[in-house]
Homo-oligomer: A and B are copies of this chain.
Amino acid sequence: MKLKIEDVDDLCTGAAFLGAGGGGDPYIGGLMIKQELAAGRTIEIVNPDELDDEELIIPTAMMGAPTVLLEKIPSGEEPIRALQVVERELGRKAGATMPTEVGGINSTIPLFVGARLGIPVVDADGQGRAFPELQMETFAIEGVAGCPLGISDEKGDTALVMTDDNYRMEWIARGITIRFGGTAYFANYPMSGAEVKRTAVKHTLTLARRIGDIIRNSRHRKKDPFDELCQFLATTSYAFAKVVFDGKITDVDRRTSDGFTLGSVTIDNPDGRCTIEFQNENLIARADGEVLAIVPDIISILDAETAVPITNETLRYGQRVKVMAVRVPPIMRSDAALRQFGPQAFGLSENYVALT
């Protein structure tokens, strides 16, 4: 499937929805890929089930502080150089690239790389949403090695990181990212087509595009976008979604610490109060002592009227919002997956209970 220029905004809206409040605003990435398409380049999105088992796939992404990204615009060469560092280490060219995370800006980086290098982009990722750290990948949970990791900045500097511990890969790459000025572009988890089929969360780029399409069009069709989203998600591997709270934002507590955006948002309505805690992404929604939804299920705060997702950088007092929760696919809530990105991985004391 070739990505059309008119689909880009929908894909970005859906990526913001799947970003669960974090993941970085896909706006800049959307501009970058529209520019590529306008220049006549093509972006081919391929079904993971149709990959050649022997093909080499090298995922590409951005890491660091989304707030820094807004002032330190990528030239576009960064993720390409990162991918080439991995290619050089492996002595082999990538047949395709892929997102490591579909939520937020990282849905767009591999699309840009695919356009520039003329290679397809696999319709799948390793998070099925957004998570803050590099070891939080279904690829890792299912046994794919994270390294070699290639990383690059806008000056042309690169590094190749080699470790067999995916936590240390995250730790070292995060340190390099800080030295690169707060954002960097990387390629890691190089794998075969067979490994993609076995370890990825599939069809998530097209999922993002459909979510964006529903949010944009439901009003024109005089449908409620929240109902439409829930009905659509019920037909996907995510299987279940619902609005867990609606009201007005009455408090936002947000701070930047250790390279993360940490805090909470309070939403009130006449019947009660909902508090959502976040570490880049929304982690848990509570109301009156009850857990409404908890990570890894997706918690997204949407404009109460348009259903446009609001990322945590832009939450503010007085916004009227609905909180939508989405149950994640089974591959993302296995015991191994919950150890990697379940509530305890974020320091929460509550156990995971799938959204019902």
Cβ-defined contact, A160 with B163, below 8 A: no
Do residues A172 and B155 form an inter-chain contact, with CB atoms below 8 A? no
CB distance from A161 to the nearest CB of B (A): 5
| A157 on the B face (CB < 8 A) | yes
Binds B, one of A15-23, A41-49, A175-183, A221-229: A175-183
Given A175-B176, A176-B175, A176-B176, decide whether A158 and B168 contact each other with a Cβ distance below 8 A.
no
- The answer to whether A159 has its CB under 8 Å from any CB of chain B is yes
CA distance A157 to B164 in the complex (A): 8
List B contacts of A179 (CB < 8 A): 171-172, 174-176
- With both beta carbons as reference points, the residue of chain B lying nearest to A180 in the complex is identified as B172
Query: Which B residue's beta carbon lies closest to that of A161?
Result: B159
When chains A and B are docked, how far (Å) is the Cα of A156 from the Cα of B165?
A: 10
**A1 contacts B by Cβ under 8 Å:** no
Q: Is A68 an interface residue (CB 8 A)?
A: no
A348 in the interface (beta carbon within 8 A): no
CB-CB nearest in chain B for A150 = B160
Whole-angstrom CA separation of A165 from B176 in the bound complex = 16
Chain B: minimal CB distance from A34 (Å): 31
- In-complex Cβ contact of A159 among B164, B165, B172, B180 (8 A): B172
Question: With the chains together, A172 CA to B177 CA distance in Å?
Answer: 9
CB of A160 within 8 A of CB of B159, answer yes
Near B by CB (< 8 A), chain A positions 130-156 give: 155-156
In the complex, the 3 A-B pairs of residues with the closest C-beta atoms, listed nearest first: A175-B179, A157-B163, A160-B160
